[in-house]
Structure 1
């Protein structure tokens, strides 16, 4: 209903009615001013001034204010009991329950509340307010988009010193925090080194969430997969450190210098044990050491990477990378700085049996090793200018490899959600995404992350976020497109068929090479046998000639007889002394 309020008034009280008409505009420029009005006007200099009608609403801060929360424990006391009933006494509570259950009002209340609860359950089952009905169709549409990645954050070293992000590790509980190890990898640079590494919260790139202090710069840093608060790191001086983020920045325990590695520790990996306190490490001193963080005074086991299986540390190969698969608790891989990958068995009885075999294919150090999460028999190795895919069934050569890149590759890893996708970084600051089902010669996506060399790479467990560490101390956080983090239809089966096909091809080539080598060997043996036979014939002929010369030459006298051709020309006649004497007989 609309209420209208009117004010009645006569037309004559409105004033004179205006009469409007159209006419051209008149410019009264020649009209002189009225001299009588001159004292009432002041001559002023014209001035222009800009005015802003609205208020300035710009923001000067990038991040919003964070919400600080603390965890507190409370003691819950069971309530609802009458004053004369002690809830701590079991007999009294049982007696009171039996008394209430016999009451008629209790039964009526339960029946009444049961109907209301049943109605709510049926209503919830009928319509699910949180169900996404078109989720699959949206994923199909998104997966058709070309692969892409965008930088969403950059975590920079708070210190002014230029240090390399040598290692990255995601927190296992949701991946909301990122641990970064900072170390200067310049040869023999020992002065004014900062000993701090940091744990970053991905929502706050302005300052680190926690600082980790060590006795030596950390080269590697790894979260415990069973405990999101504990970390282990390997130092430049060969020591192993153990941290608990709930206890602050100081390490809980550090290994002794006498029992540690003699060279920098390049890789540490946690073992999947019941206690969750076991790990092993490798270094360029040629050793693999096993540790228990509850007692870091000395290692629990030791393996020397001697390819001659003699256990000689002077001939050992330097280790720069490690790989361990929990489904294969006795096997592990070691990437060496000589370009080979050693397959080892920890449960072997002797040290010579622990080194099973060596895969040789790189021209430089193997900086990264990782088994395929969906096919553990196949593993990825990154070194020199290529990335190679191996299988445990073939030791002579790899089954897949990328072509040689223009820049040195420094790290790589498989995608945890897509079986056929892996990532590599190089010293040009490029991130390459490879999909071996799509194409093998070129990456499906190449992205320039920064102008500095990239040395470390780590992917989140859900495959959404990827972190790259650079030489200048910056850790770039990138978000991958849905196509790179969503498993494609029938992708696993297609990759399995492809790996099996390539394995068979390598086996055929290997058998062919063995056959060619056998033929060449037999041919060379035949040639050598023919030469030996001819040599033997020549030797026999020379011996015969020598014996004949010793027995007498042709036509000359000998000790027991002589040759003569006088009787029968064209035929040699050997004259022997007659046994009765006084003459010679012809032979």
Structure 2
């Protein structure tokens, strides 16, 4: 490209621009419009300033690698809006009367109607038309009976696990004021499963944080804004929807109180227990009980007490149980409770997880606290964070307490029937899948969830998903088992959808899982019986010894003991003599 300046005869300045000698364009302008003329002259180059390179600045230079730049290459589209003419509608009533009758037939007279019907039924044209209609109708009915368009015919296509296990994220629920506040419990609304209630509470001791943390109710279709912000007097540690009145939410507080929220009456508690009759520690769990009225529930806290309540009378609890495992009948010996488990199919039984790692099976039939504690399972080496009965086999339950997940049977009291390998990270929660009996999901402090399929793999998870950089605090399955909500330590709630291979029941799976649990139960029972037999045999062997043998062993052990004592005395005496001799030599 080059340019040329020239002046023509009329005094106009011409500017010639040429691009690659192919495109030329001439700009013409009068000389008097250019101002004062400029005289150009040649002169040698002059150095006005010289900047010497500074090698020290090179060390502060940071190379930008890689260099990324965004480029938008999408098509720009225009938009045009048009308002159509408004159509005015009007509602009117109509009087419907039975029609199709001839004018000479009065429909108010039943005799005339019967005579006309008999006349029509004898007409040959009527009979032929009726025969054709019945034939077509019969074909349609047979088709409807043969094929159900609403039935899923290929739901058992995962017999050979052709479809890979998969979990995809649907929504992420975040609220600005609850950032870095742990979402520690999630509950699904029973009616329609379209809402979730999330409690936010920090169990970590921090004397600086004294403000109450709000809890939230989300519509799963709207992750941008919570549907309702619950304003409790103290931060909520647990929430639970009522199965009969789906607008009621049961909540346990950080200060030990329990309260009831009603979504129809605002975001503040409509009922709340008196603090002098409430727990003395944080409420770890509060669950609704199976009752005709749907107003009964019970709660447990770290003070080792379980209270039964009725929403009609929240002044004080209806009943109380002190979890004294040593049965010393003193409240100071009560074990701190971390988890409650209740299944409505077994209304008289419930399970308790303690801070010492033991699992306790209790009943409500007895009147004395000592009789209410039935079975104590050894549990884990850390606090129990999750207990859940199997939704298909109620005598089987799982527990989370340390680096392992264990599956127990009520028939085996001293040992578990299945356990995962110790994980590198601490486990925080676990849930059975409501759709498939052999699938359960566990979460870790690493921020991952592990999907286990007992029919596919038993030594390692079938699928591991990295969900967050923070620890996952809680899990909650939807009733159908298609969706699962996960709450993290930084306050985020993630909704995920499981693939069909993880939530659709196979036709033989229930029987296979039941056979597996029965086999493991029998195996553990045999091992337990064998170890008990060995222990009893050793005791019997000791008791069958004669008194002479026992006396002889006692005398031998006594002689050995005194011989050792005498040797030590002699060593001490020799040392003292040597010490005295050295002192005498120094004095002389």
Q: Please say whether Structure 1 and Structure 2 have the same fold, judged by a TM-score greater than 0.5.
A: yes
Over 3 Å counting, the alpha-carbon distance change for 1:106 and 1:330 in structure 2 is: farther
Structure 1 CA distance for aligned equivalents of residues 320 and 468 of structure 2: 40
Q: Structure 2 CA distance, aligned partners of 1:232 and 1:485?
A: 29
- Is the CA contact (8 Å cut-off) linking 1:235 and 1:265 kept in structure 2? yes
Which range moved further: 521-530 or 197-206?
521-530
Give the drift of 1:154: 0.9
2:141 alignment counterpart: 125
Partner of 2:339: 321
Structure 2 counterparts to residues 565-584 of structure 1, below 5 A = none
Residues 30-53 of structure 1: CA distance to partner in whole angstroms, max 9, x if unpaired? xxxxx99x99986358799xxx99
Q: Does 1:406 align with 2:424?
A: yes
Q: Which runs of 5+ in 1 are unaligned?
A: 1-34, 60-76, 83-94, 539-587
Residue-by-residue CA offset, 1:330-384 (whole Å, 9 max, x unaligned): 1110011110011101011322110111001301111111100110001111111
Q: Distance in 2 between matches of 1:179 and 1:436?
A: 31
TM superposition shift of 1:437: 2.4
* 1:235 equivalenced with 2:230 (yes/no): no
- Cα pair 2:159 2:506 within 8 Å, conserved: no
Deviation, 1:292, is: 1.1
Matches within 5 A, 1:230-379: 230-379=248-397
In structure 2, what is the Cα distance between the partners aligned to 1:97 and 1:43?
Answer: 108
In 1, Cα distance between the equivalents of 2:155 and 2:321? Answer: 53
1:423 and 1:106, CA in 2 relative to 1: closer, same or farther beyond 3 A? farther
Q: 1:337 to 1:160 in 2, by over 3 A?
A: closer
Q: CA deviation at 1:139?
A: 4.1
- 8 A contact 1:433–1:444 mirrored in 2: yes
- 1:506-544 deviation per Cα after TM superposition (whole angstroms, max 9, x unaligned): 111111111111122123334573444548999xxxxxx
Q: What is the aligned counterpart of 1:510 among 525, 528, 545? A: 528
1:455 aligns with 2:473: yes
| Distance in structure 2 (CA, Å) of the matches to 1:190 and 1:268 | 28
SS at match of 1:478: strand
User: Which of the residues 76, 80, 86 maps onto 1:56?
Assistant: 76
Structure 1: distance between partners of 2:141 and 2:166:
39
- How many Å separate the matches in 2 of 1:481 and 1:45? 66
Distance across 2 between alignment mates of 1:336 and 1:100: 84
Q: Normalization by structure 1: what TM-score?
A: 0.72
Alpha-carbon separation, structure 2, partners of 1:180 and 1:361: 28
**CA gap 1:105/1:194 in 2 versus in 1, 3 angstroms:** farther
Question: Any conservation in 2 of the 1:278–1:290 contact (CA below 8 Å)?
Answer: yes
Contact 1:100 1:106 in 2 (8 A): no
Query: What runs of 5+ residues in structure 2 fail to find an aligned partner?
Result: 1-7, 24-71, 80-92, 99-106, 557-588
Paired residue total = 471
| SS, match of residue 314 in structure 1 | helix
Q: Report Cα offsets for 1:32-89 as digits up to 9, x if no partner.
A: xxx99x99986358799xxx99862499xxxxxxxxxxxxxxxxx996589xxxxxxx
Q: Structure 2 matches for 1:81-96, cutoff 5 A?
A: none
TM-aligned CA deviation for residue 118 of structure 1: 6.7
Give me the whole-angstrom Cα distance separating, in 1, the residues matched to 2:281 and 2:133: 68
Find the partner of 2:455 among 405, 421, 437: 437
| RMSD of aligned residue pairs (Cα, Å) | 3.7
Residue in structure 1 matched with residue 33 of structure 2 by the alignment:
none
Find the counterpart in structure 2 of residue 385 from structure 1. 403
Q: Tell me the equivalent position of 1:579.
A: none
Matched residue of 1:258: which SS?
helix
Which residue of 169, 182, 195 corresponds with 1:164? 182
**TM-score using structure 2 length:** 0.72
> Following TM superposition, by how much is the alpha carbon of 1:439 offset from its aligned partner in structure 2, in angstroms?
2.3
